[in-house]
Structure 1
């Protein structure tokens, strides 16, 4: 245990001791009231933890997602970080991509490639790409049954990046198949 952790544990212990002393003084002779107050605070704490844990599950319902309009256009809302995230279904597996009009190719992170059943250890990383993080090795793969809304493409060439990536990128190799329009906080794709 390092010094920083020891300091944090010491501070936490001191805080618990002060809080415990206050409870003893405040509720002296009223054990039932102390237990009720403790249970109320414990339930509040558990509710906050549950809400935090469920946030990733419910945020998709609270925040707008891409939508297919009656005209066949696909509207993608701008995320809080300023990017547009598009979910494609590839061979029945939904994957989220960041739309990157500055990227030429579709680039899969290793984690997303594994979700698609690609053996990343068996790939031949013979290509190279210049990225913001420097030069990385890549391996070409072919994706089939790529679906966005009502549109399915039978095949799409992509690259698996050997370097670390937070998520996959949807470059112009795919996006150029659509007419792209940015209207305020939404991207509209039309084919």
Structure 2
């Protein structure tokens, strides 16, 4: 193929792209192109002409190299088009992968809603990393059967609560049987981007609870939560 023929092929391809873009525009589809639409088409056409002339100069006498370059760029644009078209699917896969690598990792949903995905752990449990009163990374078992958020003695101390001054006068049921807990109010509880303030909670007696529980005094602050595909999704209110 001669360089002149290559130029016409390139200009034809770019011109076709300009025509497709114009036809996909709302103005062309409705037959109501305004001055701005015409200006955009003229600008794109001029850009296509200048690009073709530049390519012709770069590859003068090297039609083979030019064809290889065109094929490479077409492959790149095709790949980018596929990525853009399926960007939401790729994002969902990325969130699932991140959730499995980092349990409790906060992720931003494609709809803008605040979401946290929690992968299923051993025994079918869901453990999420929670920030309590500034103490980060407190592991909590998501317990939809617990009426309140319950902190173990160790986690309560991490959150700056003076456990020794609490009155343990609230009876609670644990896996080890009946126990006593103390009522407290937490200034801030956050799971990733989901934040709740002034959360009523309980602190278990030392040794009564091995893991803190994320119960309904926090879960009821959410817009919703569900389990799908082995992953628990917590959705914060927007």
Q: TM-score, normalised by structure 2?
A: 0.51
Counterparts of 1:1-191 in structure 2, within 5 Å, are 63-66=101-104, 67-70=106-109, 71=112, 72-94=114-136, 95-162=138-205, 163-178=207-222, 179-191=224-236
Displacement after TM superposition at 1:81 (Å): 3.1
Higher relative contact order (CA 8 A, sep 6+): 1
Instruction: Classify the secondary structure of the residue corresponding to 2:156.
Output: helix
User: How large is the Cα RMSD of the aligned pairs?
Assistant: 2.1
Unaligned stretches of 5+ in structure 2?
Answer: 1-97
- Runs of 4+ displaced beyond 4 Å: none
Aligned length: 132
Does the 8 A contact of 2:189 with 2:199 survive in 1?
Answer: yes
Greater Cα offset, 67-76 or 159-168:
67-76
Cα distance, 1:170 vs. partner?
0.7
- TM-score, normalised to structure 1, is 0.63
1:51-87 deviation per Cα after TM superposition (whole angstroms, max 9, x unaligned): xxxxxxxxx9983422312332211111133211111
> Could you give the per-residue CA deviations for residues 135-168 of structure 1, whole angstroms, max 9, x where no partner exists?
1111011111212222322211110111422110
CA distance in 2, matches of 1:64, 1:112: 20
Unaligned runs of 5+ in 1: 1-59
8 Å CA contact 1:64–1:77 kept in 2: the answer is no
Greater strand proportion: 1
